[in-house]
């Protein structure tokens, strides 16, 4: 884990730290608001604690954001593979010319 942390840039470290602080603040907010509220779930109305509503909303938002990050990283990985192949082809061409 230390190696992973040391390999991160300052911006990435700041992003993780801010994420942790925001997460802690959300949990504190949720615990302080442990009251029940009515929520409409398409065809049904349920009463759940605001805390649970906040935690489920945060988890859903995190999952949604992760989905887009996954697609972005998948696209970047594809570009990296293509660039590596182009680099290998150029190196082969250079070797043949020598």
pLDDT in tens, 59-94: 998 888 887 777 777 778 888 888 899 898 888 888
28, 20 Cβ separation under 8 angstroms: no
Residue 91: its pLDDT value, please?
A: 86
98 pLDDT tier (thresholds 50, 70, 90): low
Structure tokens at 63: 């999952």
Residue 97: its pLDDT value, please?
A: 78
The strand pairing partners of 46, in sequence order, are 39
45 pLDDT tier (thresholds 50, 70, 90): very high
Structure tokens at 23: 């997460």
């Amino acid at each position: 884990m230390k190696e992973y942390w040391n390999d991160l840039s300052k911006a990435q470290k700041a992003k993780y730290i801010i994420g942790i602080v925001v997460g802690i603040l959300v949990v504190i907010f949720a615990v302080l608001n442990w009251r029940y509220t009515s929520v409409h779930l398409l065809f049904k109305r349920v009463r759940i604690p605001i805390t649970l509503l906040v935690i489920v909303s945060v988890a859903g938002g995190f999952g949604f954001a992760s989905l887009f990050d996954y697609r972005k990283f998948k696209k970047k990985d594809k570009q990296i593979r293509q660039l590596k192949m182009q680099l290998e082809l150029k190196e082969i061409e250079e070797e043949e010319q020598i």
